[in-house]
Each structure stands twice: as C-alpha cells, then as structure tokens.
Amino acid sequence: MNAPHDLGAAVGGDASASATRITPGNALRPEDIALAAQQGAAPPSEDVAQYALRLGDDALILAQRLGHWISRAPELEEDVALGNIALDQLGHARSFLTYAGSAWGKTEDDLAYFRREPEFRSAHLFEQPNGDFAATIARQFIAANYQFLLYRALTGSSDAMLAAIAAKAVKEVDYHLDHSTQWVLRLAGGTEESRRRMIAGLTLMWPFVGELFEDDELTARLGDAGVVPSSLREEFDRATGEVLAEAELDVSGHPMVPGGGRRGRHSEHLGYVLAEMQVLAREYPGASW
C-alpha cells in the first residue's frame, strides 16, 4: 500500500503510470506529469514553476479546509458535496505541485509536507477558517469564481502543461461554482437567520478578494510570454455581481486587506493547517503500511 502521506492514495490514484501523451483533452494525472519529466520532457521554467506552485498551494490549502466539513456539514448531502469538492481541489493541487516540483527535482509530497510556512505561496483567502457553513460558502463562492475564470483562461496558455491541467480542472470547478452559487441564493433568500449569516460570511471573506488579482513581476513576465492571462478582476466582478444582485447582497462597502501570501507572508491560520496536515509525514518520513 502507498505511504500514509502519499497524496496519490488520498484521491485513489493508480500508482502505475503509463506513457500518456499530455493533451488538453485527456484525463491528465500527476503520474503522467511525473512520467513525462522522467522521460526527459523539458521541465517548466523557474517562472512557470513558481506560478504553478501558487496554484497548487491555493488548491491544497482549500482542500484541507473543506475536508474538515466531512461529518460536520449541516446535512448529509453536504458531507458528500464538500468532500467531493475537497477531493477535486486535492487533485488539482497534486497536478500543479507535481509540475512545479519537476523543475526542482521534488515530488508533490516533498512540496506538500516538507516546506515551512513561509515557503507556501497560497493567497490568504484559502487559509481562512471555515467559520459557520455560510462563511465557508462565502469563501467557496469567491474561490470558485476565481478558479473558474482563471482555469478557463489558462486553457489557452502558451505553456502546454499548464493548459492541460487547467482544461481538466475547469470542468470540475464548474460544478463547484454552481454549488456555491445555489447556496448563496438559498441562504440569502431563506430565513432572517440564514440571510444574516450569509451577510456575515461575505463580510469575513470578501476583503481577501483583492489579493487574488494582484499583479507582480512574476505575473507580468508570464503575461508577456502568453503563459497567464491579464487581470480577470473585471470578469470576476461581473460574474459575482450578477449573483449577488439576485440575492440582494451588497459587498461594495468591504475594504480590501493587504495580502502577502504570494510572498510567503501568511496569517496566523496557515500554521495550524500545516501542523495538522504535515505531522504524520514529518514524524514518519518514508513510512509505508
């Protein structure tokens, strides 16, 4: 059996990899990415690897947060739904981290379990505590809209591997987007209490939107090379605005908070996530069942 801290085992991945040609249309697996690297495929540039690391860290930390809802969700169907979304995010993390790690001779497990907090590049939104169910839905509504627009745009990336990973991921995030949208509408249009909680959830999470769209020298270089899209903030505001208008929710008064996650400066919350996630791998490195 795989090592207990093997990310492949967590999503039921097949440990054996076959020579799969990577195209945007196939079911891209981390094993395929690793095999391509072993067979001499050119590794990503340092810039592309750093960008893939950001996306992998976002998905990995969100997966950890969502997985905590299993057995704790307000209804059984949500146990299943949030668990499946968490597994999708974990799959995305595996692919992005495997691709990033191929530039440095590291595996997905190396990057997930043996980096320190300042070495993670996730945005602050993804590490925010779950709060109540409405707060989680607010975070998920923001994350799903952001990821859907980004992955859809990345399918046209000049980096073929990023395009292939995004082509698979966007199909799954499409469901995540629908799920969170329906819950925003349901909670906002439900009882006075559910609406109050939805408003409170957005008040907590909306200030972290700004960091998702901050450009820096890395994204500027990759944008010039056609690897990443230009800012998607206008599309994000339009997409989220339509839903929020239908729900009669207003987020215009929420100030943006400074980020820092892309530079390794995190809130106090990430350390607790990493401590729980990494403890087994660090206590028993290389262990197997």
Q: Is the pLDDT of residue 24 over 60?
A: no
Give me the CATH number covering residue 124.
1.20.1260.10
Domain membership of residue 137 (yes or no) is yes
Domain that holds residue 271: 45-283
Average pLDDT value for residue range 244-256:
95
Average pLDDT value for residue range 59-67:
97
Domain membership of residue 33 (yes or no) is no
Domain membership of residue 40 (yes or no) is no
d(C-alpha 228, C-alpha 239), whole Å: 20
Structure tokens, 47:
């810039």
Domain membership of residue 16 (yes or no) is no
How confident is the model over 139-161, as pLDDT tens digits?
Answer: 999 999 999 999 999 999 999 99
Average pLDDT value for residue range 125-136:
97
> What single-letter amino acid sits at 22?
I
- Average pLDDT of the chain to the nearest whole number: 89
Q: Is the pLDDT of residue 25 over 50?
A: no
Q: Is the pLDDT of residue 269 over 90?
A: yes
Average pLDDT value for residue range 117-129:
98
Domain membership of residue 14 (yes or no) is no
Structure tokens, 120:
């993670």
Number of domains within the chain = 1
Domain membership of residue 153 (yes or no) is yes
Helices (H), 68-159: 76-101, 108-113, 124-127, 133-154
Could you tell me the pLDDT band of residue 289, with boundaries at 50, 70 and 90?
A: low
Nearest to 32, CA basis, from 43, 42, 22, 45: 22
Could you tell me the pLDDT band of residue 286, with boundaries at 50, 70 and 90?
A: confident
Average pLDDT value for residue range 178-201:
98
% of the chain beyond a pLDDT of 70 = 90
Domain membership of residue 30 (yes or no) is no
Task: Kindly report which listed range (17-21, 77-81, 269-273) carries the lowest average pLDDT score.
Answer: 17-21
d(C-alpha 241, C-alpha 232), whole Å: 14
Q: Is the pLDDT of residue 103 over 90?
A: yes
Structure tokens, 195:
């609406």
Domain membership of residue 64 (yes or no) is yes
